[in-house]
Amino acid sequence: MKKTILINDGISKVGKKQLIDLQFNVIDKHIEQSALIDFINENNVTGVLVRSATQIRKDIIDNCPSIKLIGRGGVGMDNIDVEYAQKKNIHVINTPSASSASVAELVFSHLFSMARDTYHSNRTMPLEGDMNFKKLKKQYSKGTELRGKKIGIIGFGKIGQEVAKIALGIGMEVLFYDPTIQKQIINVDFYNNQTIKFKLEKSDFSILLQNCDAITIHIPKQKKAVITKTELKKMKKGSFIINTSRGGIINEADLISQLQNGHIRSAALDVYENEPTPKLEILMNEQISLSPHIGAATLEAQDRIGIELAEQINTLLNG
């Protein structure tokens, strides 16, 4: 009898096809949280695949005895009661490597945009470009280059290391802080099969804050903000800060204050304290480059996520 996999928050066509080819019964349909327990039980679902929209908590685990596997397409699993599920002998899987390059590229999409103020000129050119071209040209002629600048990476897991590769490739100096990593070899691979190795050592957190021209954050969801007015004030005047990890890691009120007083030049946010309804003060702030939690949302990453999930599911459920 085929095992049933519920894809509740979507998966790539490639991943879905692979599950079907592996002889799983696939239900690709979003079931609202309130109806999830009944649906799982009525359809004898063996595995549930989610992203960030669906919560798999103790209530579902306790009331759905057919579940043998919970999969998260992506890195963070803060929407799943992982330890409790594992105690119940339920496999919990994710795809920590599949989307790392996509998130890292989004970091630099924001960083290049902030360095040249294009995120802001994209707002003003449609409104004033025809009447105030010369004024705007002067306004946006104070950009900076990233080559030769220092980037600080807080959290040096797979995503942080992908950020480092891009930074090193464009000539930036990399500092990193991670409580669990002291040293790391970074291999920067080029299109012609050449590789250059860099040996990086952990920086002191305060030194990183004080010396970097840009800081980017890549850590799991935290119980309280890691970056508050204390850390922001330590940062180099005129620097950039980017958060593509989890909302709440930066205290948004403190960030706005440091943007307003000119200490922080610009910020980039892909995640927010109040998702999916970010604060209006954040959305309307002209010093913040914004994106709607799309770090892992590239076509290539979604295909890798789907394939990796299918392979793990087949190994764990079919042996």
Q: What is the model's pLDDT at position 293? A: 95
- Note if the bond before 220 is cis, omega within 30 degrees: no
- Output the six-digit token pair for 245: 């990890």
pTM of the model: 0.91
Segments in 116-186 forming alpha helices (H)? 118-128, 133-139, 158-169
Q: Is 4-95+299-318's fold the same as 100-290's?
A: yes
For the chain, the structural domain boundaries read 4-95+299-318, 100-290
The residue assigned the tokens 């990593």 is 181
Q: Which residues of the chain have pLDDT under 70?
A: none
User: What top-level class would CATH report for the domain 100-290?
Assistant: alpha beta
Q: From the CB of residue 277, how many other CB atoms can be counted at a distance below 10 Å?
A: 8
- Give domain 4-95+299-318's CATH number out of 3.30.230.10, 3.30.1360.120, 3.40.50.720, 3.40.640.10: 3.40.50.720
CA distance linking residue 213 with residue 312, whole number of Å: 40
What contacts 24+ positions apart, CB below 8 Å, involve 31-36? Answer: 31/6, 36/8, 36/60
Show the tokens assigned to 197: 């190795």
- Confidence at residue 96, expressed as pLDDT on a 0 to 100 scale: 86
For residue 74, what pLDDT is reported?
A: 86
The DSSP line for 239-257 is EEEEE-S-TTSB-HHHHHH
Residue 232, H or E segment = helix 229-234
pLDDT at 182: 98
Please give the pLDDT value at position 66. Answer: 98
Enumerate the active-site residues: 246, 275, 293
3-state secondary structure of 310: helix
**pLDDT at residue 128, as a whole number:** 97
